[in-house]
Amino acid sequence: MKFFSPSNKKHLPALIPILFFVLCGFVVTAMVAPGPQEDTIPAGTEVPAMDDFQEIDELPDDTVTTAMDTVTTAMDTVTTALEAVPVSEGPYTRTELRRGERLFKGLVPFASGMHDCSSCHYTSRTDTLNWNPSAYDMARLWSLDESYSIRQKLANPVGMRMVADHAEMTITPQEERELEAYFERLVETGPGELRAIPVNAFIFWGLGLLMALAVVDLLITRKVRARAFHVIIIIIGLVVHMQYAVAESRALGRTQGYEPDQPIKFSHLIHAGENEIDCNYCHTVANFSLSAGIPSNNTCLNCHNVIREGTNSGRFEINKIHQAEASGEAVRWIRIHKLPDHSYFSHAQHVNAGGVACQECHGAVEEMHLIRQTEDLSMGWCLTCHRDTGVDFLDNPYYKIFERLHEDIRAGRIDAVTAAQVGGEDCMKCHY
Amino acid sequence: MEKKYWKSIGEVRPSDSQQADHKEEAGQGPSSIDLLAQKTDTMPASRRDFLKWCGISFVSATVLSACENPVKKAIPYLNQPEELIPGKASWYASTYLNGNEYCPVLVKSRDGRPIKIEGNTLSSITEGGTSARVQASVLSLYDIGARYKTPLKNGEAISWEEADREIWSGLMRPGPDGKRKVLLTPTLLSPTTKALINEAMDRIAGLETVTWDAVSYAAIRQAHLVTSGMAVIPGYRFDAAELVVSFSADFLGSWLSPVEFSRAWAKNRKPGNENPMSRHIQFESHLSLTGANADERIPVKPSDEQKILMALYDEVASATGNPTLGAETVEYDVRALASDILQGRGKALVVCGHDHTDMQLLVNGINYMAGSYGATIDDSRSLNLGKGDEQAFEQLVKDMQDGNVEAILFYKTNPLYHSPDPEAFLQGLKNTPLSISFASMKDETALECTYVLPDHHYLESWNDAEFKAGYFSLAQPLIHPLLKTRQFQDSLLAWIGREEDFHAYLQDHWYRHIFPQQSFHQGFDSFWVEALQSGVHDNPHLGGIQLSWTGEGFTDAFNRLRSSAGAAGELEYCLFTNIALGDGSDANNPWLQELPDPVSSVTWDNFAAISPGQAETLGLHEGDMLRINDRMEVPVLIQPGQARGCISIALGYGRTHAGKSADKRGGNAFLLSRTDGRGRYFSGKVENWTKTGGGHLFARTQTHFSMEGRAIVRESTLDKHRENPAAGNELREYHLKHMTTLYPEVPHEGHHWALMVDLNACTGCSSCVIACQSENNTPVIGKDQVRRRRIMHWMRIDRYYTGDAENPGVVFQPLMCQHCDHAPCENVCPVAATTHSQEGINQMTYNRCVGTKYCINNCPYKVRRFNWYEYATREKFNTHTTTDLGRMVLNPDVTVRERGVVEKCSFCVQRIQDAKLKAKNERRLLRDGEIQTACMQACPSGALVFGDLNDKNSKVSKLIKDPRNYHLLEELHVLPSVGYLTKIRNPKA
Interface predicted TM-score (ipTM): 0.82
CA distance A60 to chain B (A): 44
Nearest chain A residue to B908 by CA distance is: A432
- Average pLDDT in the B71-98 region? 88
Pairwise CA distance, residues B379 & B375, whole Å: 9
Using a CB-CB cut-off of 8 Å, the residues of chain B touching A39 are 71
B25 or B786, higher pLDDT? B786
Q: Using the Cα atoms of residue B675, residue B679, residue B680 and residue B681 in order, give the sign of their dihedral.
A: negative
The two beta strands, B89-98 and B101-110, are antiparallel
A337 touches chain B (CB under 8 A): no
Band (pLDDT 50/70/90 cuts) for residue A117 is confident
State chain A's maximal CA–CA distance in angstroms.
98
Residue B563 has a pLDDT of 84
Q: Which of A333, A427, A432 sits opposite B910 (nearest CB)?
A: A432
Highest mean pLDDT: which of A62-66, B97-101, B489-493? B489-493
Cβ contact, residue pair B68, A34, below 8 Å = yes
B72: number of Cβ within 10 Å:
10
Total residue length of chain A? 432
What secondary structure does DSSP assign to A56-70, as a single string?
Answer: HHTSTTHHHHHHHHH
Please state the rounded mean pLDDT for residues B846-864: 92
**For residue B222, pLDDT beyond 80:** yes
B22 versus B279: which is more confidently predicted? B279
Domain B572-700, CATH number (from 3.30.565.10, 2.40.40.20, 2.60.120.200, 3.40.50.1100): 2.40.40.20
Whether A289 contacts chain B with CB within 8 A? yes
The pLDDT of B314-332, averaged and rounded, is 87
Cβ separation of B80 and A298 shorter than 8 Å?
Answer: yes
Rg of the Cα atoms in chain B: 29
Confidence of residue A120 (pLDDT cuts 50, 70, 90): confident
The answer to whether B816 touches B844, Cβ cutoff 8 Å, is: no
- Report pLDDT digits (tens) over B10-38: 555 544 433 434 444 444 445 555 555 55
Q: Which fold has domain B237-380?
A: Dimethylsulfoxide Reductase; domain 2 (3.40.228)
**Of A12-21, B172-181, B720-729, which gets the smallest average pLDDT?**
A12-21
How high is the pLDDT of residue B34? 56
Is the distance from CB of B644 to CB of B613 less than 8 angstroms?
yes
Categorize the per-residue pLDDT at A36 as very low, low, confident or very high, splitting at 50, 70 and 90.
very low
Residue A54 has pLDDT above 50, yes or no: no
The whole-angstrom distance between residue A57's C-alpha and the CA centroid of its chain comes to 37
Instruction: Answer whether residue A31 shows pLDDT above 50.
Output: no
Q: Using CA atoms, how far apart are residues B310 and B330, in angstroms rounded to an integer?
A: 9
* pLDDT tens string B395-412: 999 999 998 898 999 999
Contact B69 A253 (CB under 8 A): yes
The stretch B546-559 carries a mean pLDDT of: 86
Q: Does the beta-carbon distance from A291 to B69 stay under 8 Å?
A: no
Band of pLDDT at residue A11, cut at 50, 70 and 90: very low
For chain B, count helices (H), then strands (E): 33, 44
Distance from CA of A283 to the nearest CA of B (A): 11
- The stretch A148-156 carries a mean pLDDT of 82
Residues 138-157 of A with CB under 8 A from B: none
The alpha carbon dihedral of B670, B674, B679, B681 has a sign of: negative
| Interchain pair A426, B838: CB under 8 A | yes
Which whole number is the average pLDDT over B513-525? 90
Interchain CB distance below 8 Å, A427 and B843: yes
A/B interface, count of CB pairs below 8 Å: 167
Mutating which of B60, B64, B65, B752 best tests the A interface, going by the most A Cβ atoms within 10 A?
Answer: B65
pLDDT of residue B55: 61
CA distance B63 to chain A (A): 7
User: B953 to each of A403, B948, B949, how far by Cα in Å?
Assistant: 16, 9, 9
pLDDT recorded at residue A53:
36
Partner residue facing B906 (CB), from A30, A405, A432: A432
- Closest Cα of chain A to B918: distance in Å? 9
Query: Is the pLDDT confidence value at A7 over 90?
Result: no
Q: What is the identity of the amino acid at B799?
A: R
Indicate the residue of B79, B837, B923 with minimum beta-carbon distance to A398.
B923
CA distances from B853 to B28, B29, B195, B850 (A): 21, 21, 60, 9
Taking CB atoms and an 8 Å cutoff, what residues of chain A touch B63? 27, 30
Closest partner CB to B838 (pick from A335, A397, A423): A423
pLDDT at A196: 61
Mean pLDDT highest for which of A38-47, A97-106, B419-428? B419-428
Query: Which DSSP letter does residue B269 get?
Result: T
Q: Do B78 and A290 touch (CB under 8 A)?
A: no
Residues of A in contact with B948 (CB under 8 A): 401
Question: For residue A31, what is the nearest residue in chain B, using CA coordinates?
Answer: B66
Q: Are strands B834-836 and B842-844 parallel, antiparallel or unpaired?
A: antiparallel
Q: Which of A334, A404, A426 has its CB closest to that of B71? A: A334
pLDDT value of position B18: 39
Neighboring chain A residues of B843 at a CB cutoff of 8 Å: 426-428, 431
Can you give the pLDDT at residue B86? 86
The pair phi, psi for residue B104, each rounded to 5°, is -70, 130
CB-based contacts of B643: which residues, under 8 Å, 6+ apart?
A: B284, B285, B286, B299, B300, B301, B304, B611
pLDDT score of A23:
54
Whether B625 has a pLDDT exceeding 80, the answer reads yes
Measured between alpha carbons, how far is A324 from A263 in angstroms, rounded to an integer?
11
Residues sharing a CB contact under 8 Å with residue B612, sequence separation 6 or more, in sequence order: B9, B13, B16, B19, B638, B640, B805, B806
Hey, are the CB atoms on A27 and B62 less than 8 Å from each other?
yes
Is residue B48 packed enough to be buried (19+ CB in 10 Å), middle (13-18) or exposed (0-12)? exposed
- Cβ contact B923–A288 (<8 Å): no
Q: Is A81 on the interface with B (CB under 8 A)?
A: no
Question: What are the extents of the domains in chain B?
Answer: 5-13+703-737+755-985, 152-216+388-538, 237-380, 572-700
d(CA B390, CA B469): 23
Q: Chain A interface, mutation test: which of B85, B829, B834, B897, most A Cβ atoms within 10 Å?
A: B85
Chain A, window 402-421: residues with a beta carbon less than 8 angstroms from a chain B beta carbon? 402, 404-405
Of B74, B844, B925, the CB nearest to A400: B925
Greater model confidence, A203 or B14: A203
Query: What does the alpha-carbon distance between residue A346 and residue A340 come to, in Å, rounded to a whole number?
Result: 13
**Looking at the domain B5-13+703-737+755-985, which fold is it?**
Alpha-Beta Plaits (3.30.70)
Contacts of A308 (CB under 8 A, 6+ apart): A159, A315, A318, A319
The predicted model gives B215-236 an average pLDDT of 91
How high is the pLDDT of residue B205?
Answer: 81
Q: With b meaning 16 or more CB within 10 Å and e meaning fewer, what string describes B489-512?
A: bbbbbbbbebeeebbebbbebbee
Interface check for A23 against chain B (CB to CB < 8 A): the answer is no
Share of chain B above pLDDT 70, in %: 91
H helix runs in A171-288, sequence order: 173-189, 199-216, 227-250, 268, 279-282
Stretch among B244-248, B742-746, B759-763 having the lowest mean pLDDT? B742-746
The answer, for A431 touching chain B at a CB cutoff of 8 Å, is: yes
Query: Cα Rg for chain A, rounded, in angstroms?
Result: 31
For the ranges A252-261, A294-303, B120-129, B384-393, which has the lowest average pLDDT? A252-261
- Separation in Å, CA B312 to CA A236, B225, B245, B448, B564: 99, 22, 11, 48, 18
Lowest mean pLDDT among B25-39, B452-466, B815-829: B25-39
**pLDDT band at residue B458, thresholds of 50, 70 and 90?**
very high
Across chain B, mean pLDDT equals 87
Residue B867 pLDDT greater than 90, yes or no: yes
Q: What is the pLDDT of residue A60?
A: 37
Interchain CB contact of A30 with B (< 8 Å): yes
Question: For the structural domain made of B152-216+388-538, what CATH number should be given?
Answer: 3.40.50.740
Closest chain A residue to B79 measured between Cα atoms?
A298
Q: Which pLDDT score, from 0 to 100, does residue A75 have?
A: 40
* pLDDT higher than 60, residue B524: yes
Scanning every residue of chain B, which has its alpha carbon at the shortest distance from the alpha carbon of A424?
A: B838
Across the interface, whether the CB atoms of B75 and A332 are under 8 A apart is answered yes
Grade residue A310 by pLDDT with cuts at 50, 70 and 90.
confident
With bands split at pLDDT 50, 70 and 90, how would you rate the model's confidence at B776?
very high
Nearest CB neighbour to A296, from listed B77, B910, B917: B77
Can you tell me the mean pLDDT for B883-889? 89
- The pLDDT assigned to A169 comes to 78
**CA–CA separation, B729 vs B965, rounded Å?**
8
CB-nearest partner of B909 from A398, A404, A432: A432
Select from B795, B790, B765 the least CA-distant residue to B780: B790
- Please, are residues B966 and B714 in contact by the beta-carbon 8 Å criterion? yes
Interface mutation vs chain B, best among A23, A333, A401, A417, most B CBs within 10 Å = A401
SS3 state of residue B815: strand
